[in-house]
Amino acid sequence: MCMQDMGADRVGSAAAMIDRCLYVAGGCTDRDGVSVHSHAEKLHVDEGSPKWESMPSIIKPRAHAACAVVGSKLSKFQQLVKFA
């Protein structure tokens, strides 16, 4: 399976999987944690050629945050991401 790169290189992101989609938000562009950003992306893993889809940015840039799936909803992302 060949997959495109994410929209932004990152380390220390929050990530969770729900309904065959991987959600990734926040993180740093370097290991020193200097450039914290607010990018959010979603990957549909059940597609033949998975592609990252941009999502609304999280409200406040964060790195090394945590999230969890509760039932079928993402906890913490709801506080960080403005969904349209």
pTM for the predicted model, two decimal places = 0.75
Q: What is the pLDDT of residues 7-54, one digit of tens each?
A: 777 888 888 888 888 888 888 887 676 788 888 899 888 767 788 888
3-state SS assignment for residue 79 = helix
* Gap between the Cα atoms of 55 and 71, Å rounded: 21
- Strand locations in 1-84, DSSP E? 14-18, 21-25, 40-44, 52-55, 68-70, 73-75
Q: What is the pLDDT of residues 50-83, one digit of tens each?
A: 888 888 888 888 888 888 887 777 666 544 444 4
User: Residue ranges of the domains in the chain?
Assistant: 14-77
- Both tokens of residue 67? 């999230």
